[in-house]
A and B are shown apart, each in its own frame.
Chain A
């Protein structure tokens, strides 16, 4: 495996992905993500952004290549160790994927409950988080009773509530107004400053400009390019958790 380095949080090496017998949606994708990095993944619709993110949040196994995450081989990792890795990742799904029968509060609390956090330690952080995203008065509403933007904010709150080591967000500001988009981006930056590696898939060029220190990975027809040196080793802006803190 190339680019083996201490401290990398994710390492893809010649990864390819195809669904069924179709052509590859990702080809020879190789990159390394470091702790504390802020990465944008860009590309046109159908370029493979969501597929790449699925590999990142362990919802999909690649057809070929090697993936290391948090120091473990994510491809040969025994199935019973996957939950441990997934709990270190926060995910904002493009289509939100809120649990329809749970309230906004319970959706946001879900990662904490899954991780076995005591109920008495859940109420305050979840309430605070919902207040921060402007949904304090909607915490008992079901997803179907929330607007698209509100659902997106619940999805983001759920993704960050457990302070993940890596946050993966698929078009996280697609359904919110510009002010809320900026606010959410500030949340991601705050998390990033606390050491969370952030990967945001977007085709919104305005968003890229708002995070000057970010690194950009561009996908084009399943192939990755590197306009800001994000994929270089060492990366253009090498940052470790210690440096960030």
Chain B
């Protein structure tokens, strides 16, 4: 891709010293691919972060009480008593019995409809309680002691405990996304470094002449920096567009699953703005790498 700098953006002198076509080559496309992959990796990382944060917010004060009793009458009695006891316990903001219809809906994918009617598999009654403060061991112990006299079949668990492995996996994926972004940034810098070294070799004669005519390292570095900057801007815009299309398609696919945990990872405005800044960061990184590479190489020349 041969890029010519617009006159208002650059003094003709710098723009003309090195032919832009010789410098660019496939660089804009390499940058486009890097930026697209970075956008996808960053979007994944942000989605994982959102999922973890939203789930954590939802589950932090959540407690589930199961009434495990095979006798449906006794189970119902203990469940009602437990709900009453929980509602009168200090620190409990809300306590409600999960309806049988809701329980049936939840377990139907695994057990079918055989949990209903005579001879069906007994399923515990479920109480969903929400505490004012995050759940801790002491609070769980107090709830157990409160419920034992009125509902001896009650089992009390913090909701966050169940999802600990899921949170751990989400955390790992989040770090993996971050690492990918880092690796892609490194790869972008390496690609720019190789392109600039190659261009330095190709244009060595011109650079020597410019040096002998009194050109400074900074002037020569600025030419490379601008050329790479324009390559990176063009490539970055293409990469951003590609990356966003992929992210939107993936978002629609995951959104279609309808699973609460997955849909809680939806990207917010701040996330989209962050993704839009990736090409700018790419341009900055490419220009910085180009400048450092050129200045270091020129120092070896007289």
Q: Give residues in A with beta carbon < 8 Å to B.
A: 57-61, 79-80, 82-84, 86-87, 91, 97, 99-102, 106, 110-111, 113-116, 119, 158
Are A99 and B13 neighbours in the complex by a CB distance under 8 Å?
no
Q: Report which of B19, B209, B210, B302 forms a contact with A82, defined as CB distance below 8 A.
A: B302
Bound form: Cα–Cα A80–B19 in Å: 25
Residue of A nearest to B19 (CB): A101
Q: Please report which residues of chain B, range 1-43, place their CB below 8 angstroms from some CB of chain A when the two chains form the complex.
A: 11-13, 16-17, 19, 22
Q: Give residues in B with beta carbon < 8 Å to A.
A: 11-13, 16-17, 19, 22, 205-206, 208-217, 219, 299, 302
8 closest A-B pairs by CB = A113-B13, A87-B214, A86-B214, A101-B19, A114-B215, A83-B214, A83-B216, A111-B213
Q: Report which of A59, A79, A80, A113 forms a contact with B212, defined as CB distance below 8 A.
A: A59
Bound form: Cα–Cα A59–B211 in Å: 9
Are B16 and A102 neighbours in the complex by a CB distance under 8 Å?
yes
- Taking the closest CB of chain B, its distance from the CB of A127, in whole angstroms, is 15
Are B213 and A86 neighbours in the complex by a CB distance under 8 Å?
yes
Main secondary structure of the interface of B (DSSP, over half): helix
Contacts A79-B299, A97-B208 aside, 9 further interface pairs with beta carbons under 8 A come to A58-B302, A79-B302, A86-B211, A86-B214, A97-B209, A101-B206, A113-B11, A114-B213, A119-B13
Are A114 and B205 neighbours in the complex by a CB distance under 8 Å?
no
Which residues of B sit under 8 angstroms from A83, Cβ to Cβ? 211, 214-216
Q: Report which of A82, A91, A97, A119 forms a contact with B12, defined as CB distance below 8 A.
A: A119
Are B216 and A80 neighbours in the complex by a CB distance under 8 Å?
yes
Residue of A nearest to B21 (CB): A101
Bound form: Cα–Cα A116–B212 in Å: 15
Which residues of A sit under 8 angstroms from B212, Cβ to Cβ? 57-59, 86, 91
Are A114 and B206 neighbours in the complex by a CB distance under 8 Å?
no
